[in-house]
C-alpha cells in the first residue's frame, strides 16, 4: 500500500483502530489540516482510506497487545495521599508506579464520589533530551520558539512522527478566552481515556476544572507546562506525565495548545468496585 513518504515504522498501538481507516494517518491528516496544508492533509486521508480496501498497512509491523492487568482495589483518597505507594496502588502485572516527591507544587482535589486528581508541576529541564517522546517534542518546540516560528503552521509532522508521539497528542483550540469554550481539534487515539469534544464536557467535574485551569494558564502565560498526574476517574486509575505547549496566531495570541501524554507504570488500571 502506498502512503506519503517520511512515516517511520509504527508501534502496535497505531494499528488501524477506526472503521474509517488508519488512526495514525488520520491523525497526521488532521494535524496538516489544522496547520493549513490541505493537499498534504488529503494525501494522508486518502492513504488512511485505503486501509479499508487493502488492509492495515501497519499491521505487519505490529505485535499482539499484552494482556490487561486485573482490576485493582479502589484507593481511598486520604489513604492514597498519605501513602501513595500502598500495595493497592500496584498493578497486577507487577509494574511499580513512580512515586511523587512531595513539594509545595502538588495540587490535590477530590469529590464525594471517590474521584481525585493529584497533580504536580515538574521542571521542564527534567525532561530527558534523548530517547523520550516528551523531551524530543519539547526540544523541537524550543527550536521553533528560538526561530520565532511558534505558529501552528510551522509544525513539521515528520518531526512529530520522529518523536514517536502521534496518537498521544491532543490539539486544543483555546482561541476563545472562556475556558468553557475550549475544544479538542484532535484527541489522541492511543490515550486510554474516553474522548470528549471539550475539556469541560468530562463528567468528573474536578477533572474538567483541572484541565481548563491548566490549559488556560498556558494560554495566558504563553509558557509551556509539565505536570505529572495521578487520579481516580470513575472506575479507572490513571498515572501519566503531560506536556502542554503553546502556539500563537499572527497577532502573537496563544490560540492552540499541543498536549502530549506519556503514560507511566500503573496507568489506566481498572478499579474493583462493589466493596
pLDDT bucket at 20, cuts 50 / 70 / 90: low
The grid coordinates of residue 241 equal: 506525565
pLDDT bucket at 47, cuts 50 / 70 / 90: confident
Round the average pLDDT of the chain to a whole number and report it. Answer: 80
Q: CB–CB of 267/256 below 8 Å?
A: no
Q: Where are the beta strands (DSSP E) in 52-150?
A: 106-110, 116-122
Reference 24, options 39, 9, 2; nearest CA is: 9
What pLDDT is stored for residue 200 in this prediction? 95
pLDDT bucket at 271, cuts 50 / 70 / 90: confident
Q: Where are the beta strands (DSSP E) in the chain?
A: 106-110, 116-122, 169-173, 183-186, 225-233, 236-248, 254-263, 269-270
**CATH hierarchy code of domain 77-270:** 3.30.450.20
pLDDT in tens, 128-157: 878 899 999 999 999 999 999 999 999 999
From-to residues of CATH 3.30.450.20 in the chain: 77-270
Q: CB–CB of 8/161 below 8 Å?
A: yes
Reference 239, options 99, 131, 122, 106; nearest CA is: 99
Q: What are phi and psi of 73, to 5 degrees?
A: -65, 140
The grid coordinates of residue 84 equal: 501513595
Residues in Cβ contact with 201 at an 8 Å cutoff, skipping those fewer than 6 apart: 208
pLDDT in tens, 52-106: 666 665 554 443 333 333 444 443 433 333 333 333 333 444 443 333 344 457 8
Q: CB–CB of 150/248 below 8 Å?
A: yes
Amino acid at each position: 500500500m502506498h502512503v506519503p513518504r517520511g512515516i517511520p515504522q509504527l508501534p502496535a498501538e497505531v494499528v488501524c483502530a477506526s472503521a474509517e481507516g488508519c488512526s495514525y494517518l488520520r491523525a497526521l491528516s488532521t494535524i496538516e489540516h489544522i496547520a493549513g496544508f490541505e493537499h498534504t492533509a488529503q494525501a494522508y486521508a486518502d492513504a488512511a482510506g485505503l486501509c479499508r480496501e487493502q488492509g492495515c498497512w501497519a499491521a505487519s509491523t505490529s505485535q499482539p497487545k499484552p494482556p490487561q492487568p486485573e482490576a485493582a482495589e479502589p484507593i481511598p483518597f486520604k489513604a492514597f495521599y498519605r501513602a501513595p505507594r500502598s500495595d493497592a496502588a500496584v498493578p497486577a502485572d507487577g509494574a511499580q508506579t513512580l512515586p511523587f516527591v512531595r513539594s509545595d507544587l502538588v495540587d490535590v482535589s477530590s469529590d464525594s464520589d471517590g474521584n481525585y486528581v493529584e497533580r504536580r508541576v515538574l521542571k521542564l529541564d527534567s525532561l530527558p533530551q534523548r530517547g523520550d517522546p516528551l523531551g524530543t517534542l519539547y526540544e523541537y518546540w524550543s527550536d521553533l520558539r528560538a526561530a520565532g516560528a511558534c505558529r501552528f503552521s510551522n509544525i513539521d509532522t515528520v518531526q512529530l512522527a520522529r518523536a514517536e508521539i502521534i496518537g498521544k497528542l491532543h490539539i486544543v483550540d483555546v482561541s476563545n478566552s472562556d475556558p468553557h469554550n475550549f475544544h479538542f481539534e484532535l484527541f489522541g487515539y492511543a490515550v486510554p481515556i474516553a474522548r470528549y469534544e471539550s475539556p469541560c464536557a468530562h463528567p468528573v467535574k474536578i477533572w474538567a476544572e483541572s484541565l481548563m485551569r491548566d490549559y488556560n494558564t498556558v494560554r495566558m502565560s504563553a509558557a509551556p507546562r509539565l505536570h505529572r498526574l495521578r487520579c481516580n476517574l470513575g472506575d479507572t486509575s490513571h498515572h501519566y506525565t503531560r506536556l502542554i505547549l503553546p502556539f500563537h496566531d499572527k497577532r502573537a495570541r496563544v490560540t492552540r495548545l499541543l498536549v502530549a501524554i506519556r503514560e507511566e507504570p500503573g496507568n489506566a488500571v481498572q478499579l474493583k468496585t462493589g466493596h
